[in-house]
Amino acid sequence: MLNSLGLNKPNAQTKVCVAMSGGVDSSAAAIMLKQQGYEVFGLTMDLLQPPYAPEISSIQDAAKVAKILGIEHHFIDYKKEFADKVVHYFTSAYQEGLTPSPCILCNRHIKLGLLADKAREFGADILVTGHYADIRLTTNGVELHKGADLKKDQSYFLFDVAKHNLEMLRCPLAVYTKEETRALVQSAGLEIYKKSDSQDICFVSNGKYADLIKALNPDFQNTEGDIVLTDGKIIGRHKGLINYTVGQRRGLGIGGDIGILYVLKLDVKNNRLIVGHEDELKQKKVLIKDVNWLAEDAPLDGEYMVKLRSRQKEVPARIHFLANGMAEVNLLNDFYGVAPGQGCCIYNKTRVMGGGFICKQDDI
């Protein structure tokens, strides 16, 4: 008979690695698996280094939770790998005029990449994280679905995970709300139940990503340039393109009676910020690259729902898959603020079919 993690062995003989960050969610996952009698151990990654502030308190919290639960616990130094695969990608993308998705890359390469490999080295059968997403085992293989609490659903951030690592993953918080998770941690007597949620990008202090880019790339010239309308008319000066993203309307510093303007494009080649009115921001055709397909069959052209930013609602689209891991996404409704560099997650109802990364409009 299969146990609750989908393996045909007793709980006590199932070795489970919990990715422990020191936060509420991963601690709750460790508690649940320990209570169910699994052989649980924790792995905590040390990722952050100057000039981005290290989260020493989180590492200490993870160790404290492991000690209270009485489980084996290990630290892994992945600072160099994290810098190479995630931070460098993030800063380089902004310099190229993109709006990057570092959490998606971190899940693929670090949290559910290197960490999954390390878990296997320790003999783990299963890797457990505190993601609010639903891993389902079917006769056709593993499926990734949305978490039950759509306000906390994190399936969008997992579309790029390699399938063999997805097969090892379990997310026991799939059916939980954040409030229920906190209550579980509190009932176990852990003070961290009060801990606030982590910020979106762990290595960017107070959202000041431009400062980080400058600190890591002192030779990078983030120079001022012209703000122009789509007809080429110059209407102002920008403070360096890395300070802006497609869809932005605040902080442009444009006065006069032109009306509300939005960032339409970052023209890196000519160091221009192209702006326009809301109707010029809408887009119906999106090209994506590096498609990671999670379904059991080859990518099939058809209608799907797509999410083009983590905090925006899904929209219907007709997708045509191309060669070399690319796809053409034809939106069936107008969409405002398609940002090159962001992830495009492809859904069929609650299931994540896969996804890719949005190309610049020049590539369409």
Q: Is 47 within the bounds of a domain? A: yes
Q: Is 311 within the bounds of a domain? A: yes
Task: Answer yes or no: is pLDDT of 363 > 70.
Answer: no
The tens digit of pLDDT for each residue in 64-91 reads 999 999 999 999 999 999 999 999 999 9
> Mean pLDDT across the stretch 9-24?
96
- Give the end of a domain, one of 238, 256, 276: 276
> Mean pLDDT across the stretch 262-286?
94
Same domain? For 19 and 86 the reply is: yes
Task: Answer yes or no: is pLDDT of 37 > 70.
Answer: yes
The tens digit of pLDDT for each residue in 298-356 reads 999 999 999 999 988 999 999 999 999 999 999 999 899 899 999 999 999 999 999 99
Catalytic residues: 106, 202
All residues at 6 or more sequence positions from 55 whose CB lies less than 8 Å from its CB, including other chains? 22, 48, 202
Q: Is 213 within the bounds of a domain? A: no
- CA dihedral over 354, 338, 325, 301, signed as positive or negative: positive
Q: How many structural domains does the chain have?
A: 3
Same domain? For 57 and 194 the reply is: yes
Same domain? For 268 and 287 the reply is: no
The tens digit of pLDDT for each residue in 127-175 reads 999 999 999 999 889 999 999 999 999 999 999 999 999 999 999 999 9
The confidence score (pLDDT) of residue 259 equals 85
Same domain? For 325 and 235 the reply is: no
The confidence score (pLDDT) of residue 362 equals 61
Instruction: Pick the more confident residue, 123 or 214.
Output: 123
Mean pLDDT of the chain: 92
Q: Is 215 within the bounds of a domain? A: no
Task: Answer yes or no: is pLDDT of 364 > 60.
Answer: no
Q: Is 228 within the bounds of a domain? A: yes
Residue 200: pLDDT band by 50, 70, 90 thresholds? low
Percent of the chain with pLDDT over 90: 79
Which CATH number do you get for residue 249?
Answer: 2.30.30.280
- CA dihedral over 82, 206, 223, 98, signed as positive or negative: positive
* Helix orientation angle between 56-69 and 24-35, rounded to the nearest 10 degrees: 10
Same domain? For 243 and 201 the reply is: no
Same domain? For 159 and 290 the reply is: no
Determine the structural domain holding residue 161 and report its residue range. Answer: 11-206
Please state the separation of Cα 265 from the chain's center in Å: 23
Q: Is 214 within the bounds of a domain? A: no
Same domain? For 184 and 118 the reply is: yes
Same domain? For 191 and 65 the reply is: yes
CB 200 within 8 A of CB 103: yes
Q: Is 79 within the bounds of a domain? A: yes
- Give the end of a domain, one of 233, 259, 276: 276
CB 70 within 8 A of CB 46: no
Same domain? For 296 and 313 the reply is: yes
Which CATH number do you get for residue 93?
Answer: 3.40.50.620
Q: Is 5 within the bounds of a domain? A: no
Task: Answer yes or no: is pLDDT of 55 > 60.
Answer: no
Percentages helix, strand, coil for the chain (3-state, rounded to 5) are: 30, 30, 40
Same domain? For 152 and 184 the reply is: yes
Same domain? For 245 and 309 the reply is: no
- Give the end of a domain, one of 146, 179, 206: 206
Which CATH number do you get for residue 325?
Answer: 2.40.30.10
Same domain? For 308 and 233 the reply is: no
Q: How far apart are CA 270 and CA 101, in angstroms?
A: 24
